[in-house]
Amino acid sequence: MADSTLSGALEFAKMLAAGGFRLDPMESAPSIEDIRQLAKKRLPTMAFDIVDGASNHEITLDANTRDLREVRFRPRWLTDISTIDISTSVDGMDLQRPYVLGPLGLQRMIGGEGELGAVRAAGKANIPFTISTASNWAMEELADEATGPLWYQLYMYKSPKIVSNLISRAKAIGAEALVVTVDVPLNGKRYRDHRNGMSIPPKITPRNAVQAVRHLNWTRAIMKPPTIGFRNLAGEIQGDNAVSHQEFVKRYLTNLTLTWADIEDVRRQWDGPVYIKGILTPEDAQRARNVGAQGIYVSNHGGRQLDSTPSTISVLPSIVDAVGEDMTVVFDSGVRTGDDIAKALAVGADLVSIGRAWGYGNAAGGEKGVLRVLDILDEELELAMGQLGATSIDALDRGFVDYPEAWHGTGLHREPESGTTADGPSA
């Protein structure tokens, strides 16, 4: 009887496996939202909100994803889709897919290995990994783990010496592109972080002690050496005392005198492509072009800076109209699906940057979680292109989508910038 029961159980297990049943929830997660839920379950609130949260009332965060849903596809049936090619090329760089892993800092705050697992996953997938200045591992430590292309994201700190040193180190590790973030003149106020008492390095306080006990794997991970901090700035500005993220940025990052002339100086120090991240208007896109940048990121920092800025997809058409012929346009903020990638490319972006999506994967399962995110996005992008009848990235154009005419500025009241001339805005 026992043998019969065991045999029956084994046969049942085989049937489940043949039908696609997986015990590992990561392997069976069908969407980025499912992976987000796995991350939420694994982490204490303070850590999850670092990835998931945004500034103030999170109006811009919501708009980013909501407006992407406003874009509607216009498929072309009876098209030969036997071969679909998602590879592309930008500024002399050949890419296997039309998106990159964007910069995310503070990844050790979610436990595990922080950015180390993510950079290894990027190497296995041969996708560019953008090292954040705010990473919890030094760029050299991440480069030692990397087997794929690296980009480097630069914050323009108060000290020109620190900025020049970061640029020199990014050159030394072989970073192919420099992404200069300009939308942090002051740090956004993030209500979730304030409510959670988030600090760097994290502290166990009466406010979060219960959750720390409930998530012991996370607690053990954040207590492992080295102390969590901004290791790209070790020996420069990093102290030993825990400070809030807001206070850290105010004390060390905020540069109230930064102008476009400083970007020209960065351009002189970097030989490869320079992309300006944080562009939300055609006027600033033109300024970026005027100072010699190869490209721009149409980005609102994922809603984590100035709240109530427009969604990035809603400003993408007017920015592409203004500079798309002259510059590489990278779309950032709000991407959660392969459909979103296809929509941004069809509206006019040359490339897409993925942020929170890979952050959720890293939070849910480290290297394995990031690889699953990439699998999901690749599958969804190829499926969307096949259903649209677009067999290559170059084939995706505005003929495949509908979106509000207001996104070109029609019907909106907008006063021209003071100082704007017939030749365009001055830098």
- Alpha-carbon distance of 80 to 58, in angstroms, equals 43
249 band by pLDDT with thresholds 50, 70 and 90: low
Q: What average pLDDT is seen over the chain?
A: 91
3-state secondary structure of 208: coil
- Alpha-carbon distance of 192 to 127, in angstroms, equals 32
Q: Which of 194, 215, 245, 301 is catalytic?
A: 301
Which two tokens mark 27?
């392997």
pLDDT tens digits along 87-145: 999 999 999 999 999 999 999 998 889 999 999 999 999 999 999 999 999 999 999 99
User: Which residues of 115-230 form beta strands (DSSP E)?
Assistant: 129-131, 150-155, 178-181, 199-200
Cβ-contact 313, 346 below 8 angstroms: no
Instruction: Name the nearest CA neighbour of 101 among 78, 76, 124, 80.
Output: 124
- Alpha-carbon distance of 199 to 201, in angstroms, equals 6
- Asked whether residue 414 carries a pLDDT value surpassing 90, the answer given is no
Q: Which residue matches tokens 């500079």?
A: 323
Instruction: Name the nearest CA neighbour of 88 among 342, 347, 380.
Output: 342
- Alpha-carbon distance of 264 to 389, in angstroms, equals 42
> How crowded is residue 260: how many other Cβ atoms within 10 Å of its Cβ?
16
DSSP 397-408: -GGGEE--GGGG
The residues near 277 (Cβ < 8 Å, ≥ 6 apart) are 153, 179, 180, 181, 182, 183, 296, 297, 299, 330, 332
Instruction: Name the nearest CA neighbour of 342 among 270, 426, 398.
Output: 398
How many residues are listed for the chain in this entry?
Answer: 427
Going from the C-alpha of 385 to that of each of 95, 97, 312, 334, the distances in angstroms are 17, 13, 22, 19
Give the model's pLDDT for residue 137: 96
Burial 338-348 (b: 16+ CB within 10 A, else e): bbbbbbbbbbb
Which two tokens mark 59?
């109006």
Which two tokens mark 116?
């180390």
Q: Does the global pTM surpass 0.75?
A: yes
Give the model's pLDDT for residue 423: 45
Question: pLDDT over 70 for what percent of the chain?
Answer: 90
Instruction: Name the nearest CA neighbour of 72 among 313, 343, 320, 317.
Output: 343
- Asked whether residue 38 carries a pLDDT value surpassing 70, the answer given is yes
Angle between helices 160-172 and 260-269 (to 10 degrees): 30
Residue 413 falls in the annotated catalytic set: no
Cβ-contact 255, 280 below 8 angstroms: no
Q: Write the DSSP symbol of residue 126.
A: T
- Asked whether residue 214 carries a pLDDT value surpassing 90, the answer given is no
pLDDT tens digits along 275-326: 999 999 999 999 999 999 999 999 999 999 999 999 999 999 999 999 999 9
